[in-house]
Structure 1
Amino acid sequence: MVISRATLAALKDGGRVIQAASEGDELLGPLALLPGVWKNEGGLEGRGWNMIALPFETRPGSELDYRLLLNQYNETLVFDLVDKGVPNRGLTALGVQADQSLVALDYEQVTDQIATADFPRSTVLGPTRPPGNTIHHEPGLWLNMLDQVTDGFDIARLGSVPHGDALLALGRSVPTRDGPPDIPDIIGLPLKVEQNLENPYLAPYKHFHDNLFEGLFDPVHPAELLKAANQEVEILRTTTLAVDTEVETGGIHNIPFIVKQANASALRSTFWIQELAETDDLGRPKLRLQYLQIVMLDFDSRTSGLPGRITWPHVSINTMHKVEDAPREKVQLLASR
């Protein structure tokens, strides 16, 4: 979505405004369909899946030094507050004022576990981590950069995770396309090891490949359930938001313990916002959101036989509906100051 010069000039003249986010806001550009509340409801319960390899002390004599943890979850993802006219001050090479304007959209993500398993089987899953507990919480911002764009990177995601991680991922917006998204084929196996399921070191992956988690999820091919969720669904249009921490000035910063134990070194995430042929009570296309996120974790291995750290894909996927418009609680709280 291209912002007109007149709209941009009016934004700069009007100053900075914080208000409730609303679907279709022109200034949000490619983010315009995000405002609201997205959940695993209406037949999409349990469509969130997570896989992560973690350092783990196995039984004496075992060549494994990690366990593979899988989770099935329900999610609430809220986009509720927009900050318009955020100014970044700057000058051209000739000393002429050349400020940047951007729009920031608040988000908050919470995922609640409904099933879990690991291999090798650990005691870490015990009563302190029962099904039904929260396993992830992430507040953050999506940015739409309205001008002064560098190398085409006009969208960004900033996120913070209570484990002690903060990220900046950048992306280039693309036009909305007709039809469903193209879900890529990805392999969930770690890098810098022999990627053969007969390799004894990959026994946890082979275990869940042969015995699908909850009868559905295969960590070797973790994106397949996204494709399956689109079968027999009529998708009119798809907006794609793809961001990466390994481009331009992107990156992840972690607290020392994380860096030492299982360093989160890179993130790639793609959101597919889908407008369906099915309509709501107002005749508007119903909206679905799918995402595929890969965080690369690095931790030392005693058994890989190759130099450097093994890199482990930490993969999360989900398919959700938008269930309501953005709640106004944050705006009301700000107005009461």
Structure 2
Amino acid sequence: MRTTTEQLEALRGRFRTVEQAVPGDEDLGPFKLLPGTWSNEPDLAGRGWNMIALPFGPPQGATFRPPYRLLMNQYNEKLTFSLVDKAVPNRGIAPAAAGLTPNADQLLVALDYEQGIKQIVSDDFPSTSLTGAPDTAIHHEPGLFLSMTDPLDEDVVDIARLATIPHGDSVLGLGVATVSDGPPTITGINALPLGVNQDVDANPYLQPYKHFRDAPFRGLFNPVDSTALLKAANEGVDIVRTTRLEFDSTVATGGISNIPFIVRQANASEMKSTFWIQEVRNADGGIDLRLQYAQVVQLDFFDRFDGGPGRIKWPHVSINTLAKVEDPPAPGPGGYDVMPS
């Protein structure tokens, strides 16, 4: 979703500013519907689902268990987009032509976000006392969405996501934004580990996955079909238009940096996430906003069984369906003035 000439010229004609983000601001490009607060509560409570495999040593003398546990969470989330940093300059020059080196600066628009997640209920297999109590905070993430205006021709990406995770991870995901009429097309996600025989019936190493396949978490969340609940949430919903944001840490110069403990024990090696911003026609004929996402972070630990390079990749899957519940406060008292004014 390339920046239009008009948008680019408007950014070039001003100095850099940091200000309260406003819904509908064309300077935000594909992010123009995001400013404000998105939440599961009150109308979409419990639509967040998460699964993660974690290294786990079974008690001494226990019957055979693989050396990991599979943890499942149902959660509520609040995701807030508040400040925008406009006309952020990246300086550069174009390849020399006829002895000239013209400037080829890039301008960014950065929309900040803060994500907070608390679990409603959790379960794991094998069963432990480590799952945490209801209403426990299980995730906090400040970050930025970047709209990269005027990219050079060879660039194949126009958006980016910068995420910082308190476990000790820093993520750069790159991708593209697209807009289409109607609902999104949501594909399945293989949530089984890569580097092992994935036959859950024949491979005892996958016993935790078989457990939750045969008895889905809360009767709903199945690790073998982990996006089914996203698709179900769209049934009977009149989705008029969808903006799709794709972020992938394996594209171009993306990547993840982790603290040493994470690298040794369960290295977060890849992140892929897709956000679907949905314009939904309500019963009165007006438009409401919803946001869905599916995210997979690969955690690498234990030697592979298939002879492939590296370690087993364990997909850490998160999905959610949220509603826009609040716009940002107006600039000024109680809001955020332009900096510089």
The alignment's TM-score, normalised by the length of structure 2, stands at 0.91
Residue identity over aligned pairs, in percent, reads 55
Task: Tell me which residue corresponds to 2:21.
Answer: 21
Are residues 1:264 and 2:268 paired?
yes
Structure 1 residues 106, 263: closer, same or farther in 2, change over 3 A? same
Match of 1:203 among 201, 207, 218: 207
Cα distance, 1:284 vs structure 2: 4.5
Q: Secondary structure at the match of 1:300?
A: strand
Cα distance, 1:111 vs structure 2: 0.4
Structure 1 residues 75, 11: closer, same or farther in 2, change over 3 A? same
- For residues 196-236 of structure 1, the C-alpha deviation after alignment (integer angstroms, 9 at most, x for no partner) is 11111111011111111111111111100001111111111
Residues in 2 aligned to 1:105 and 1:246: alpha-carbon distance in whole angstroms: 22
Task: Tell me which residue corresponds to 2:170.
Answer: 166
Letter in 2 for 1:88: N
Residues in 2 aligned to 1:8 and 1:334: alpha-carbon distance in whole angstroms: 20
Contact residue 169 and residue 244 of structure 1 kept, 8 A: yes
The alignment's TM-score, normalised by the length of structure 1, stands at 0.92
Letter in 2 for 1:90: G
Contact residue 19 and residue 331 of structure 1 kept, 8 A: no
> What count of residue pairs does the alignment treat as equivalent?
330
After TM superposition, the structure 1 = structure 2 runs for residues 21-60 of structure 1, keeping only pairs within 5 Å, are: 21-59=21-59, 60=61
Cα distance, 1:336 vs structure 2: 11
Task: Tell me which residue corresponds to 1:320.
Answer: 322
The 10-residue stretch of structure 1 (324-333 or 180-189) with the greater mean CA deviation from structure 2: 324-333
Are residues 1:92 and 2:85 paired?
no
Residues in 2 aligned to 1:34 and 1:268: alpha-carbon distance in whole angstroms: 20
Cα distance, 1:141 vs structure 2: 0.2
Cα distance, 1:305 vs structure 2: 6.4
Structure 1 residues 248, 332: closer, same or farther in 2, change over 3 A? same
Contact residue 181 and residue 241 of structure 2 kept, 8 A: yes
Structure 1 residues 238, 305: closer, same or farther in 2, change over 3 A? closer
Residues in 2 aligned to 1:154 and 1:274: alpha-carbon distance in whole angstroms: 20
Task: Tell me which residue corresponds to 2:247.
Answer: 243
Q: Secondary structure at the match of 1:207?
A: helix
Match of 1:107 among 102, 109, 113: 113
Residues in 2 aligned to 1:224 and 1:4: alpha-carbon distance in whole angstroms: 36
Are residues 1:140 and 2:143 paired?
yes
Cα distance, 1:41 vs structure 2: 2.4
Cα distance, 1:28 vs structure 2: 1.1
Contact residue 54 and residue 71 of structure 2 kept, 8 A: yes
| Gaps in structure 1 of 5+ consecutive residues | none
The 10-residue stretch of structure 1 (160-169 or 33-42) with the greater mean CA deviation from structure 2: 33-42
Cα distance, 1:335 vs structure 2: 6.5
What is the alpha-carbon root mean square deviation over aligned residues? 2.1
Q: Secondary structure at the match of 2:138?
A: strand
Residues in 1 aligned to 2:184 and 2:88: alpha-carbon distance in whole angstroms: 32
Q: Secondary structure at the match of 2:12?
A: helix
Cα distance, 1:304 vs structure 2: 3.8
Residues in 2 aligned to 1:330 and 1:261: alpha-carbon distance in whole angstroms: 44
Residues in 1 aligned to 2:289 and 2:238: alpha-carbon distance in whole angstroms: 11
- For residues 241-300 of structure 1, the C-alpha deviation after alignment (integer angstroms, 9 at most, x for no partner) is 0110001000000000000000000000000111111178xx751000000000001001
